[in-house]
Amino acid sequence: MEVVKISTLKQTMADFDVLLPEYESPWLFFSKKMPSLLEDVQAKMELCTYKRNTILFTQGEEHPYVYIVGTGVVRILTGDENGSEKHLMIAGPGSLLGNLSSLDGYPSLFTAATAEENCRLYRTTGPIFTRMTAEIPGFKDFLIQDLCAKMRILAGNISSLSFQTADVRIVRAFLYLIRESGTRCGRGIKINIPFTHQEMADLVYSNRVTVSRFFSRLKKEGVIEKVNRYYYIRDVGYFYNYINELGA
């Protein structure tokens, strides 16, 4: 199938922004919203590098640190006593993690794990973070924006699970992946976050069999291809048309 042309891609991405507003995205990215503030905050925090799948904190447990993502991606998960996990959101650069426990003193509601190799995160302890919110001008506004974004994501998860089919949720996930981590290349658009069928199933609240079946259909129709650990979108317009025709 012919690779998407750059001009067509730009127009399609503009259509995506209308069809799927940024505030509905399950991806948290704050690095472009308050860059100067983030620099002031990060200057007071410790910079650490973590390997892929490092657990930063665990659901139901107390933890000492608050994090801001510098580079890389962190998965936010929820689970049950049987070990089942579901993805709630994906945190990118500028995202704040672990701040709820530092504010209310209760154990963490979620589990956070790094999703890429060599993720660079800024961290500090809960007491220092609390002082920073009072001392750094504008930091409280940033904190409010962060909490609002997370509330919208959780509400969106409930809505999509209640009213959308699994296939639609998968297509919407691809659209957000294209916008938040996609880069143009000779193959079309490369999704720079590697993921498995099971991880996609967890993200869209489905099962691996359903996801694998839909991915096979997309590959057969020339919409996507996988090279090593990464997916490439060969026909970006397919996803837009899929959602637009269903009015989803």
Helical spans, DSSP H, in the chain: 6-19, 35-42, 99-104, 126-135, 139-163, 166-181, 197-203, 208-220, 236-246
Calculate the average pLDDT of the chain.
83
pLDDT in tens, 133-191: 889 988 888 888 888 888 888 887 787 778 888 999 899 889 888 887 888 999 999 99
The pLDDT of residue 7 is: 40
pLDDT in tens, 28-47: 665 556 677 888 888 999 99
**Whether the predicted pLDDT of 58 surpasses 80:** yes
Greater pLDDT, 116 or 68: 68
What is the arithmetic mean of pLDDT over 81-99? 84
What is the arithmetic mean of pLDDT over 97-122? 88
Greater pLDDT, 183 or 246: 183
Q: 90: pLDDT confidence band, cut at 50, 70 and 90? A: confident
Q: 226: pLDDT confidence band, cut at 50, 70 and 90? A: very high
The pLDDT of residue 222 is: 94
Q: Say if residues 230 and 192 touch (Cβ distance below 8 Å).
A: yes
The pLDDT of residue 248 is: 54
**Whether the predicted pLDDT of 1 surpasses 50:** no
The pLDDT of residue 3 is: 43
Residue 224 main-chain phi, psi, to 5 deg: -130, 160
**Whether the predicted pLDDT of 53 surpasses 60:** yes
What is the arithmetic mean of pLDDT over 106-116? 89
Residue 239: both structure tokens together? 């996803």
Tell me the C-alpha to C-alpha distance, in Å, between residue 163 and each of 19, 118, 169, 212: 17, 37, 10, 21
